[in-house]
Amino acid sequence: MNTNGIHPKSIINIKIMGNLKIRGKDLLQIGYPNDKSVTVALEVVKKNFQDKNVAFVKSQLEKILQNPAEFSAHLTFGQIAEELLSGKKTEKQMLLKNRVPHQIFGNEISNDAINQFYTSLKLPISVKGALMPDSHYGYGLPIGGVLGVKNAVIPFGVGVDIGCRMCLSILDIPISYLDGAKEKFKNALMEHTKFGMKEVHKSHIEHEIFDRETFDLIPILRRLKEKAIKQMGSSGGGNHFVEFGEVEILEENNQINLPKGKYVGILSHSGSRGFGAEIAQYYTRVAIENCPLPKEAQHLAWLDLDTHLGQEYWISMNLAGDYASACHHDIHRRLLKEIGGKMKTRIENHHNFAWKEIHDGEELIVHRKGATPASENELGIIPGSMTSKGFIVRGLGNPNSLNSASHGAGRAFSRSSAKSTFTMNEMKNELKNHKVSLIGGGLEEAPMVYKNINDVMNAQQDLVDILGTFQPRIVRMDK
C-alpha cells in the first residue's frame, strides 16, 4: 500500500465497545518510561480507541514498547514508536543571524509583509525565498511568500486554506451567449453554486477520493470525512468566487492548443473548505508544541518530514489538495450540466501548498502561500479583481523566484479598511462601468481594494509569459 511515502505495517483491526479508561500509571506499570512517550501514547489511544477493550489496547501498547522499530512507519502507532526510539526533549529553536538568499519582486509591498518574510528567511531550515509582487501580511508566511526549506513542512507556510486554487474551463459555447443567455447563466450560478459555512448541495456525487484508505488511517481525517463529503462542490467565503467570463487566447500555436480568439469560460477560486482548515489549524498547534520558536516566528513552526507527525501532515495536506481539486471539478460539472455545452480544455493550479522540488541540485520543500507555480512551460491562472482581467500564464522557470509567480492582484486595503474607505454606490458604479453582474459579494472584496493587476503583471515579466486573458462578466461570491 502506498500512502505518499509511508508504508504502514499491517493494520490492526480493533472492535471495541464501552468506555476506554487508560491512565498514565497504567502505561508506567507495563514498562513505559516516565517521559513524553506516555503523554503521546495516551493521546493516540484517546484519538483512536475511545471505546473499550482495555486488555486489547494494553497488549498493543506492550507490543510497541517491546519493538518500537517495527511500528515506526505505522500511521496509527508510529508517533508512540518515534517517542520511544528518540527519547529527545523538545528544545527551543533559535533563528539565524543572517537571512538566506532571497529576492523581492515588485515595489508596492507593505513593510509588515516584508518584515514577516525576512523572519522566515532566518529559520534554521530555510534555504531560499522569494516574495511575489501581490504580497501582503498574513500569518506565518506573508501572502505571496515563497520559501524553500530542508526536509520539513510549515503548516502556516502552506496556509489555512490548503490547496486553495484556480480552475478555468474553456467551453465550446459561442461568446455571444454571455449577453444573449445572461439570465440563464446567472440562474445557473444562483442555483448550482454554494458558498460559505452554511450552504451545501442537497445531493452529492460518489467521488473516488472518499474511498481512499488514508481517511481511515489518520484520526483527524477520519473525523473530518463527513464534513468533507457534505461540503463537496462548494466554495468558501471571503475572496472565493465562481464566475462566467470572456476568455481571449492571444496567439496561435500556443500551449493551450486552442486557436487565437474569444471563448466562454468558467473560472473558480476556492480551496479545501473546512476539511483543509481544520487540518491546518490542528497541525499548526502540533508544530508549535513540538517546535518552540521566538515569539515573532512562532507561526512558522515546522514539522520534520522524518517524523511521524511530519508525515501525517504531508499526507493530510496532499489529500486536502486533491479534495480541493475535486470540489472545483464538481462545481464546473454542475454548471455545465445546467447551461449545456462541452469543455474544450481546462487549466488549473494550486496556490496554497508545498511541493518537493529540486533547486540548485538540492531537494527542497517549497512552500507557496498565495503564489502560483511557474516552472518552465507550466500553465497557470492569475486572476485580477471582479472587474479586472485575469491572465492565463506560462511559467518561465525563474530560479530567483523558485519557479513562482503571484497568485492574483493582491490586496491594497485590508478587509476592515475597505468597509470604511468605500461605499456600496462606488462599488456598484465600478461594476456597471465594467459590465459585470455580481451575485453576493460585499465591500470587503470590492474591485477598488485590490492592487492594479497590470502593475503586478509588469513586475513579473521575468517570471511568466501571458498566453491569454479572462474578463469576468457574471460573478458569484459569498453573501
Q: What is the CATH number of the domain that holds 448?
A: 3.90.1860.10
Is the domain of 195 the same as that of 318? yes
Is the domain of 171 the same as that of 61? no
CB atoms within 10 A of CB 191: 11
Check residue 290 and give its pLDDT.
87
Boundaries of domain holding 56 = 24-86
Is the domain of 340 the same as that of 224? yes
Positive or negative, the Cα torsion across 303, 305, 311, 317? positive
Q: How confident is the model at residue 160 (pLDDT cuts 50, 70, 90)?
A: very high
Query: Under a CB-based contact definition with an 8 Å cutoff, are residues 144 and 356 in contact?
Result: no
* Residue 360 placed within a domain: yes
Check residue 47 and give its pLDDT.
79
Closest of 124, 132, 135 to residue 98, by C-alpha? 124
Is the domain of 68 the same as that of 184? no
Check residue 55 and give its pLDDT.
83
Check residue 91 and give its pLDDT.
75
Check residue 26 and give its pLDDT.
85
Check residue 1 and give its pLDDT.
36
The arithmetic mean of pLDDT across residues 38-57, rounded, is 80
In this structure, what are the phi and psi dihedrals at residue 249, rounded to the nearest 5 degrees? -90, 125
Is the domain of 82 the same as that of 181? no
- Whose cell is 509511508? That residue is 6
Q: How confident is the model at residue 129 (pLDDT cuts 50, 70, 90)?
A: very high
Is the domain of 224 the same as that of 371? yes
CA 118/CA 98 separation, integer angstroms:
10
Residue 18 has pLDDT above 70, yes or no: no
Tally the domains of the chain.
2
* Residue 462 placed within a domain: yes
Check residue 424 and give its pLDDT.
95
The arithmetic mean of pLDDT across residues 265-279, rounded, is 97
Residue 254 has pLDDT above 90, yes or no: no
Closest of 230, 232, 243 to residue 269, by C-alpha? 243
Q: How confident is the model at residue 204 (pLDDT cuts 50, 70, 90)?
A: confident
Q: How confident is the model at residue 72 (pLDDT cuts 50, 70, 90)?
A: confident
Closest of 389, 475, 388 to residue 430, by C-alpha? 388
Residue 14 has pLDDT above 60, yes or no: no
Check residue 73 and give its pLDDT.
79
CA 198/CA 208 separation, integer angstroms:
25
Answer with the one of 34, 66, 86 that is the final residue of a domain: 86
Check residue 4 and give its pLDDT.
38
Check residue 19 and give its pLDDT.
59
- The overall average pLDDT reported for the chain is 91
Q: How confident is the model at residue 300 (pLDDT cuts 50, 70, 90)?
A: very high
* Residue 267 placed within a domain: yes
- CA distances (Å), origin 316, targets 155, 207, 227, 270: 11, 17, 15, 18
Strands 126-136 and 143-149: antiparallel
Check residue 88 and give its pLDDT.
60
* Residue 277 placed within a domain: no
Outline where 258-343 has alpha helix (H): 273-290, 308-339
Is the domain of 77 the same as that of 170? no
Is the domain of 221 the same as that of 75? no
Percent of the chain with pLDDT strictly greater than 90: 75
Q: How confident is the model at residue 34 (pLDDT cuts 50, 70, 90)?
A: confident
Q: How confident is the model at residue 8 (pLDDT cuts 50, 70, 90)?
A: very low
Check residue 478 and give its pLDDT.
94
- Confidence (pTM): 0.86
Q: How confident is the model at residue 67 (pLDDT cuts 50, 70, 90)?
A: confident
Angle of helix 54-66 versus helix 36-48 axis, rounded to 10:
140
Query: Under a CB-based contact definition with an 8 Å cutoff, are residues 144 and 406 in contact?
Result: yes
